[in-house]
């Protein structure tokens, strides 16, 4: 619970958030949610993609963010991680009662929001260990190397190997380990099972469950909706940039019509 114990720490920011974007942290945390996004709207240039998305997560929960191709899942994760694209034009995002919407991506990362993108962004020409160490060049850092290697024995075995020569599953492990190497309060996983054999998917599932056991809060986006729902506490389904369902993961697993309408499973 090392990381989870730290949730009361102030969000580290290089500069103060702009005043107009952060009316008051007091508007956050309705019903005591650990994470919430309230009516967020985001654009790629003129393209209006994230169209008023709202949802909440309790601390330590896994939320499955689902929807068909192009529904806006990746765009929503990128908005939460405060990437430049798509750009957030309206709405609020809070983590641990602190406003995230005024932050830049590096500030959101310092505040503990770590996005593991679909392409994993493993750095070529560097070993596994160098990839991990690079995540820790700037504070606040998360798990030390020894703890990461205990949790990911395969990465320990391959610590001197060039990281881009790892298998797909190992690269996914490294991408998750890099998130843990940083301050981690909200893990955003974009299609972590993509391109992996079922047996490897099971390994990644165990890792995600292990992260939950540490008290860390996770949003998982997956095409493999059933697998994600089995792991998740809550589910949000997006369609054309809007939330069409928010509720228990069990509810989606039990509702074939909902799945047929919005998930193609
Ligand atoms: N850089 C971009 N510029 C303009 N439009 C974009 C950009 N990236 C995505 N879009 C559009 O935004 C919409 C949502 O895309 P997004 O990648 O968020 O969907 P997704 O739910 O993650 O889909 P997938 O399941 O295919 O990954 C799509 O219509 C897509 O074409
Ligand atoms: Mg996507």
Shortest-distance ligand to the CA of residue 224? 1
Q: From ligand 1's centre to the CA of 82, what distance in Å?
A: 16
Of ligand 1's listed atoms, the one at least distance from the Cα of 191 is 27
The CB of 237 under 6 Å from ligand 1? The reply is no
Question: For residue 245, is pLDDT > 70?
Answer: yes
Of 10-24, 108-122, 234-248, the one with minimum mean pLDDT is: 10-24
Q: What percent of the chain is modeled with pLDDT above 70?
A: 88
Residue 57, φ and ψ in degrees, nearest 5: -135, 140
Q: Which atom of ligand 1 is nearest to the CA of 221?
A: 22
Domains defined along the chain, listed by start = 4-262 (3.40.50.300)
**pTM score of the predicted model:** 0.89
Residue nearest atom 12 of ligand 1, based on CA coordinates: 49
pLDDT for residue 30 is more than 60: no
Instruction: Quickly state the pLDDT bin for 32 (edges 50, 70, 90).
Output: confident
Determine the distance separating the centroid of ligand 1 and the alpha carbon of 72, expressed in angstroms: 6
Per-residue model confidence (pLDDT) at position 265 = 67
């Amino acid at each position: 619970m090392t990381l989870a114990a730290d949730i009361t720490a102030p969000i580290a920011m290089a500069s103060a958030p702009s005043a107009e974007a952060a009316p008051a942290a007091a508007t956050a945390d309705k019903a005591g949610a650990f994470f919430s996004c309230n009516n967020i709207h985001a654009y790629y240039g003129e393209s209006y993609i994230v169209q008023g998305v709202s949802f909440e997560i309790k601390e330590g929960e896994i939320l499955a963010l689902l929807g068909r191709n192009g529904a806006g899942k990746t765009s929503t994760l990128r908005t939460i991680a405060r990437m430049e694209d798509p750009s957030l034009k309206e709405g609020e995002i809070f983590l641990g009662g602190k406003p995230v919407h005024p932050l830049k991506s590096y500030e959101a990362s310092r505040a503990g929001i770590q996005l593991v993108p679909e392409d994993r962004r493993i750095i070529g020409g560097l070993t596994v260990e160098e990839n991990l160490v690079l995540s820790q060049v700037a504070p606040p850092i998360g798990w030390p190397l020894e703890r990461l290697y205990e949790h990911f024995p395969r990465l320990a075995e391959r610590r001197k190997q060039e990281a881009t020569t790892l298998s797909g599953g190992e690269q996914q492990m490294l991408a998750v380990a890099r998130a843990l190497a940083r301050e981690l309060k909200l893990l955003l996983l974009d299609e972590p099972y993509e391109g992996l054999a079922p047996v490897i998917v099971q390994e990644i599932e165990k890792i995600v469950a292990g992260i939950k056991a540490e008290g860390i809060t996770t949003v998982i986006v997956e095409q493999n909706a059933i697998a994600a729902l089995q792991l998740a506490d809550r589910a949000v389904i997006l369609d054309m940039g809007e939330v069409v369902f928010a509720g228990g993961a069990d509810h989606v697993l039990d509702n074939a019509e909902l799945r047929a309408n919005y998930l193609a499973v």
